Each structure stands twice: as structure tokens, then as C-alpha cells.
Amino acid sequence: MHVSKRLQKLKPSETIAITTRARELQAAGKDVIVLAAGEPDFSPAGFVREAAAVFAREGMTRYGPAPGTLETRQELAAFLERTRGVSYTPEQIVVTNGGKHALFNALAGLIDPGDEVLILAPYWVTYPAQVELLGGVPVYLSADDAQGFKVTPEQLSAALSTKTRCVIFNNPSNPTGAYYTADEVRALTEVCVEAGVVIVSDEVYDAIIFDGGPYLSPASVSEEARDLTVIASSLSKAYAMPGWRIGYLAGPPDWVKKVASFQGQTSHHISLLSQAAAAVAVSGDQAPVEEMRVAFRKRRDFLLDAFRDIPGFEIAVAPEGAFYLFPRITGLIDAIPEVENSVDACAWLLDNAMVALVPGSAFGAEGFLRLSYAASEEDLEKAVQRLSETAGNLIG
Ligand code: PLP
């Protein structure tokens, strides 16, 4: 059958590809430790699961409103007010099929063919793919480990052009774990406001911050900033609910109305059961979110300590949020004759250390790799041991 040019160009997500390959090896009996996926190894809070079971028994089998139920949008609006001090009406919110769908809807509402979208690199794998699907042109602005993977206001200002439709800003960052402090967010937001450029703010890791002070969304910086920001977020990470596919976007009312119509014509709405569970999760006891954050912090600290002694892996700046390490591995690449880049290095580590990691090139950063510590402490300890032995035998 004919495949549209649009889909012919689409590459599958490398993180999903590596996880699938590692799972196949596991299924074949190999003892592979998979540190590739960006999926919390926690379950949703007990009270959320209980509530979802009750909702399922009650039914919720009819169609609902395209942008999401009023109750869920009200709870999300209250959540945004509480956590970010920014006011949205329910009409300014669309409940989506995860954060990925929130981003796609947001970009569909912004990009015309040929529009440039500024993507800060290292970036989450999906951004360029979504921009290109919509006929946009990704433009990259990179910040390496020497600057903590964070761009400066001067760099941002220099990278904007008259063709820039929007900037995608992800704080804390997947893949680096970098976290922009409130002052840094303010400074970058002001650059965008001055240039009149929209900020698509991917806030899926907002609850997983270890150091560096309270979370500031670009939308919270000023009224002008709020009117130029689209928040795209989800409950997949903070509430450990990725399989229930609950995301949302928030933005200016007239624009959101159009995006709600787009969703109405393309997918209508996400499961009412998931929406009802989301309302319970964001309005209920937040202690499970905090417990998860503390557990991630403990793992981050363990890994930072352990990686100091693993030759070939260099971590210049401690990640301050999300659940990823993004070490520079140029030392490792240089030490293995048959390895030329981060893709080869990850294949080599999978074969020789039986640890599945994601090459930095997938995130626009050659010479690095990503390790997800959304895994048990036992697996992390085993992975460290294997990587130390394998790299130690090689580099010594
Ligand atoms: N944004 C970033 C930076 C992510 O890492 C992810 C998931 O890995 C998402 C968005 C999408 O999350 P969801 O599973 O809610 O679609």
C-alpha cells in the first residue's frame, strides 16, 4: 500500500527501539538490565487505583466532551494554580492522550509549513519528529556539559529569527536531568516575550526536582509570558501513570478553543476512566509523589558517586531533576577500536556488559549516552558493577 511521504520520513523512536531489543534479549533468556526507558518503576497511588476501579464499575462508557470533562479540567486548573501560581479557566485546558499528544496538539496549533521551531539540544527524541510531521523546520540550539546543558539568554536571543514560530523548552530535561532555576527561567522567558516568540513548555518532570529551588513555569513569569506560553504536561512521570495516557495542555483561550476542535476531529477525547483517575490524583494526597521524588534522589546520589570511579564515563554536572544521567563517553568510544560513536558504544555495552542504554545521538548529542534510573536499586547496583568491570578491563 502507498505510504505517505510524511510517514515515509518518520523514524521510530530510538528509546523505544532499544528497549524493544533489550526486552527481546531478556525473553531469549539473557540477563539484560534495561536502563533505557523513561518510565517510572512505581505504581499509581493506592487511592488512585481504588478510585479508578470504582469508576470502572460505575460505567463511564459514553462519549464525553472533546477537550476533557469539566471536572478534570477544573482539577487541572486548580493544580496549575497551586503549583505554579498561574490562573487558567477550564476552557483554557485540553486533556490529551499523554504528554506526547499534548505536544503534538500544541505544535499542530502553532506551526504552519516552513515555520521554524527552536529546539534546545540535547532534546527529547520526539520533538524533531513532531515538528517535521507538521511541516515545520527544526532549528537546534545546543548547550553541552561544560555549561550544564543549559542555554544562556544571550544564546537564546541570538538563535531566534523572524521565522521562529516557537521554542520548545523542557524543564527539568530529558535526557540530561538539567534543571533551570527560577531566575534562569525568568531570564529566558523574557527573551521570548521581547521577541514575541511562543514558548511550548514541556513540564512533564515538574515534580521530580532535587536541588535548585522551586519550580517556575515560563507561564508564571508575567501575564505577557502566560499569554505566549503553552504548557504541555502529563501525569505519566509524577504520578507514575504512563499507561493510563493522561496529558494536558494549557494556553490562551481562543487558541485552546481551536486546539480543542482539532482534538475533536482527530481523537475526540481520552478515556473517561483515565480522566476521572487524573482528577483524583492531582487533587488528592501528594505524599506518594514526594516519596517517589525522594527515591529518585537517592538513586541519583548513588549513581553520581558510583560513576566517579567508572573509567570512560564523565559526568561534569550533577543532574538536578527528572531521572536520567547523561554521561560523556568520548573516553570509552576512543578506547574501543570497533566503536566510532554513541550508537556503536551502546550496542557494545549491550553485548559486553548486558546493560541497555540509549545513545546520545538520539537526543542530538553525539559522544554521550543516557541512563534512566527509573529502575530498582538492585538493578542499578548490578548495572554499575557490570559497567565498572567492563570499562575497567578496557581502560584500566
Ligand atoms: N516530554 C518528555 C520530555 C518526556 O520525556 C516524555 C516521556 O518520556 C513526554 C513528554 C511524554 O510523556 P507521556 O508518556 O505522558 O506521553
Query: How far, in Å, from the CA of 335 to the mean position of ligand 1?
Result: 34
Tens-place pLDDT, residues 54-101: 999 988 899 999 999 999 999 999 999 999 999 999 999 999 999 999
Does the pLDDT value for residue 15 go beyond 80?
Answer: no
Could you say which of 258, 283, 308 is where a domain stops?
Answer: 283
- pLDDT above 70 covers a percentage of the chain that reads 100
Quickly state the pLDDT bin for 395 (edges 50, 70, 90): confident
What pLDDT is attached to residue 214?
86
Mean pLDDT of 355-359: 96
Tens-place pLDDT, residues 217-270: 999 999 999 999 999 999 999 999 999 999 999 999 999 999 999 999 999 999
In the chain, the number of structural domains is: 2
Tens-place pLDDT, residues 324-340: 999 999 999 999 999 99
Quickly state the pLDDT bin for 289 (edges 50, 70, 90): very high
For residue 206, what is the domain's CATH number? 3.40.640.10
In a domain, 178, yes or no: yes
Whether residues 270 and 387 share a domain: the answer is no
User: Would you say the CB of residue 174 lies under 6 angstroms from ligand 1?
Assistant: yes
Quickly state the pLDDT bin for 211 (edges 50, 70, 90): confident
In a domain, 361, yes or no: yes
In a domain, 50, yes or no: no
Does the pLDDT value for residue 212 go beyond 80?
Answer: no
Identify which of 236, 270, 296 to mutate to test ligand 1's pocket (most ligand atoms within 8 A of the CB): 236
Query: How far, in Å, from the CA of 2 to the mean position of ligand 1?
Result: 30
* The model's pTM: 0.96
What pLDDT is attached to residue 147?
96
For residue 313, what is the domain's CATH number? 3.90.1150.10
Could you say which of 283, 305, 331 is where a domain stops?
Answer: 283
Could you say which of 251, 283, 315 is where a domain stops?
Answer: 283
| Nearest atom of ligand 1 to the alpha carbon of 234 | 15
In a domain, 32, yes or no: yes
Identify which of 16, 97, 120, 126 to mutate to test ligand 1's pocket (most ligand atoms within 8 A of the CB): 126
Whether residues 269 and 380 share a domain: the answer is no
Mean pLDDT of 124-136: 96
What pLDDT is attached to residue 209?
96
What pLDDT is attached to residue 379?
96
In a domain, 52, yes or no: no
HEC string for the chain:
CCCCHHHHCCCCCHHHHHHHHHHHHHHCCCCCEECCCCCCCCCCCHHHHHHHHHHHHHCCCCCCCCCCCHHHHHHHHHHHHHHHCCCCCHHHEEEECHHHHHHHHHHHCCCCCCCEEEEEECCCCHHHHHHHHCCCEEEEEECCHHHCCCCCHHHHHHHCCCCEEEEEEECCCCCCCCCCCHHHHHHHHHHHHHHCCEEEEECCCCCCECCCCCCCCHHHCCHHHHHCEEEEEECCCCCCCHHHCCEEEECCHHHHHHHHHHHHHHCCCCCHHHHHHHHHHHHCCCHHHHHHHHHHHHHHHHHHHHHCCCCCCECCCCCCECCEECCECHHHHHHCCCCCCHHHHHHHHHHHHCEECEEHHHHCCCCEEEEECCCCHHHHHHHHHHHHHHHHHHHC
Domain that holds residue 301: 5-43+287-395
